Structure 1
Amino acid sequence: MCGPPKRQAIGSRRFRQSVTASDGGWPPPNPTRELLTISGVDPERSTCLVEPGIVLDVLNERLRDTGLEYGPRPATHDHCTLGGMIGNNSCGATAQRAGKVVDNIVEMEVLLYDGTRMWVGQTSEEQYARIQRQGGREAEVYRQLRGLRDAYLEPLRTRYPKTPRRVSGYNLDSLLPEKNFHVAQALVGSEGTLVVVLRARLKLLPVVKAKTLVYIAYPDIASAADDVPRILPHRPIALEGIDDKLIHFERMKQLNPDAVAKLPPGGARSA
């Protein structure tokens, strides 16, 4: 974790401006859209510190010279923000290589509804004890989170879904002792219901130096799905299934005709 967090009022002038500029309309103002800073790039540890308003493609472009990138890449990568990705626990087709956002978060600075501002991440027993000795709102939050975890310890270990692309619900299993009571990971995917993310330290991956695209035709989408276990040992960067309906709609709307013409025949395709 990043030093002892302190309880304090909102400290960003840009944040205050965007909040007070609200006219009360809908949708409500998004104060994080002006938080665009990238700082603390650490090539040795493969991490960077970002504010939540930055767009994924912009982040990766600015990281280009480091040879690193942020791995999760949803289809909206050219306009989705890191804050939105954290809220959704995004992944995209690159989940085969990079996993989900929850797998690529080191720590976060968050704001609670009452103005408490704190850093959260992995929490060792020593860190937990220090937080409790300091007391205050942060200690209360950590105590309640641990109490929630302990109350449901057995089902969290044995009944929580183990599906690789589980992106719905709260990541309460991140609070397990074997996962180092990772509060930041537990907040990923919470859709803004628990905190406002002010900054996030991200895990980065080496940029893939060379890529190639392979199309495989199948008679139907079920056959394509059946073949996935045979493809995975080849460690694809991304894996996506495209059924015949999507191709049909592309042809109807005359979208990407040159690309569609290159597709092999089949009722479904894995790309």
Structure 2
Amino acid sequence: MTVQAGVVGSPIAHSLSPLIHATWIAAAGLDARYVAHGPETPEAFEALLDQGRRGALRGLNVTAPYKEQAYAAADEVSEAARLVGSANLLVFEDGRIRADSTDGLGLMNALGEQAPGLQVEAKPAVILGAGGAARAAAGALALAGAQVRILNRSRDRAERLAADLGPAVAVVEDASAFIGATLVVNALSVRPNLDVGRLEAGTVVMDMTYRPLETPLLAAARARGLVGVDGLAMLIGQARPSFQAIFGHPVPDTDVRERVLRHLGEAA
């Protein structure tokens, strides 16, 4: 029987998740389908969850605006999901829903892949933004022992994030944010107002955006001689544990990044 899975969000047409998972499904020889779902209302999303409870779906990745609703609907939640208060992965089994958050793991996987020399334990790491992506990044970095600094235009939102995640996360002002930072992560959906000339030599710069793959922030950082980490590495990094959880199969050894780059028309 074909295993049914997919990704949920609105809008969803831009999602690369179907391409990534279809590549792995084909390489692993699985009898499975992974498709995009674009429910336009919370009620339509709830109907999709009902399909999962009835056994019509094995699992779903979840993106905006449904991550919080996914978390609230779950019967079981992982520690990572509890930490950030949202879920990007749902697995259905025997009428129950298990929720997890793999975004933070995806960030750490991306850093390990593209900045293998980076050490964050007991080091300052700056996150630009205080939304859901920033929350996942802050949680993962705090668990890794980093001294997380949140820099956001709305201080109130940043302070709520810091209060939720504990003493390893602090809100900082622009003037002092980058002093001694070993890592800067852009968790904003827009280009940040950041002069990379202010960053210390050896700082790693990560941009969660992957359209374009080489963002202006990454280009400026690399032009200054800094190590850059792109958003596609994070996307693939969070997809790996999702694939294993949904299909119960190890991720096959195939170059999915090169496949995605061809799809995007980017040079490898």
Both proteins in one fold, TM over 0.5: no
Higher relative contact order (CA 8 A, sep 6+): 1
TM-score (norm. length: structure 1): 0.22
TM-score (norm. length: structure 2): 0.22
Mark the structure with the bigger radius of gyration: 1
